[in-house]
Amino acid sequence: MITIPYLTALTTLFSYGLLFAFGQFRDFFRKIFDWWKASNLQGYAPICLGLEDFYIRRLYLRIQDCFGRPISSAPDAWFDVVERFSNDNNKTLKRTTKISKCLNLGSYNYLGFAASDEFCTPRVIESLKRFSPGTCSTRVDGGTTTLHKEVEECVANFVGKPAAIVFGMGYVTNSAILPVLIGKGGLIISDSLNHNSIVNGARGSGATVRVFQHNIPSHLEKVLREQIAEGQPRTHRPWKKIIVVVEGIYSMEGELCKLPEIVAICKKYKVCSSTQKNLQSSGACYRYASMTYKAYVYLDEAHSIGAVGKTGRGVCELLGVDTADVDIMMGTFTKSFGSCGGYIAGSKELIQYLKYTCPAHLYATSISPPAAQQIISSIKVILGEDGSSRGAQKLARIRENSNFFRSELQKMGFEVLGDNDSPVMPIMLYNPAKIPAFSRECLKQNVAVVTVAFPATPLLLARARICISASHTREDLIKGLEVISRVGDLVAIKYFPAEPRKQQLEEGRVKLE
């Protein structure tokens, strides 16, 4: 839970209020001037209405140059950012032929596989020659190659589950799977800060959705107890199925899921005896009909698989949780593996059921063969099956880089969210004026960062999200820290006093064991 300083919250609200007031003032005169102009849009419904249209025109368009910046190279530690300009106050942006070589602190290239790799790249090129860029078919028709079978076996072995199924898009993996797993009469208990793909999947399932406070197991237990006691809305019948959905690393907070505690709570409520029992919650006593309950655990490891853990197997390995205690394991290949798509891993019965019923498997084009080969090759490197120790070195480096960068930002006085070992570290900006200021000033000094604001975050909690990679050298990180520190002083986002420096950043690198 983020606690906003009173003065910061006050100034942030005042800034948004000022923007709203001036925006409404300009709209008033716009309507007056437009009244005199002939319009050729009679009979056409507006695309956006009300506050949505107002937010886009008066807030987003003014800073849209900070988002969607095109690049013209691989998203390695350094990449080429294409420069753009606008002649109409940022309503439209035009690309130029100029590029800026920038330090990449925004891509999810956690292990550095998105760039050319000595083991992966030749095999991907060979698969492109052998197969094709795409299968032009669904998995159930002509879209299943030997690589698709191999990648599913490889993923299942890697995450420690009996079977797995892969999809061509990570977002769809959540949004298409949840409606297949649960429907009307079921209960989804979701973390309040789960990804939008989970939110949309839960809404599309038709199940009842309840939310627990972000990463607070005690509140999850309270919600679970109350819902089991009350049953379905109106009828109060027992739930047909209960699924608890959490993420391994929360992409906007950089926090690790408290998985051991959540698994323990779900185990506690897995089986109820066939006789009626009393369930006490908050001093009240409830009675529920005889029912065998099982609270399934659905774990989204989009940002944690491959990035954390001694051998890159995600939060289960990092936090010491047996994968047998996690019923459904989801992950994507777009972060640590330098590819595309996502997977679901679980029991053989679950995966077989999904192959018969999931629309993303039945109707969507299968994952590209070169992308599948990239996944296979990167997992082999991580496990050391390429005959080298590069995988272990990458895992050690991403952990070392993340912890070093996080600790230095905190020493400088920035408010940094997240936990140690997480490669995602949000720097809180809060004020709307500081969003474009921080982004533009960093870009001027050849550091590319990602800024995130409403509606991706709550209105008062704008931030810059830093993503660290194993491909970053210590010199790269020091360069980024120096620029961020200067810009932080310029835009006044160091909300805490800086710690006295015990050593200079320019000291020698920490040797990897």
Sequence ranges of the domains in the chain: 1-31+46-59, 119-271+292-383
CA Rg value for the chain: 25
Pinpoint the alpha helices (H) of 269-389. Answer: 315-319, 348-357, 359-362, 369-383
In terms of Cβ atoms closer than 10 Å to its own Cβ (0-12, 13-18, 19+), residue 47 is exposed
In this model, does residue 205 exceed pLDDT 70?
Answer: yes
Q: What fold, for 119-271+292-383? A: Aspartate Aminotransferase; domain 2 (3.40.640)
User: What does the pLDDT look like over 73-124, one tens digit per residue?
Assistant: 999 999 999 999 999 888 899 999 999 999 999 999 999 999 999 999 999 9
User: What does the pLDDT look like over 444-456, one tens digit per residue?
Assistant: 999 999 999 988 8
What pLDDT is recorded for position 302? 95
- For residue 273, what pLDDT band results from cuts at 50, 70 and 90? very low
> Please, what is the average pLDDT of the chain?
90
DSSP assignment letter at 57: I
Which helix (H) or strand (E) segment holds residue 84: the answer is: strand 78-85
Strand partners, 463: 428, 452
pTM of the model: 0.90
Give rounded-to-5 percent helix, strand, coil for the chain: 40, 15, 40
Q: First-to-last CA distance in the chain?
A: 36
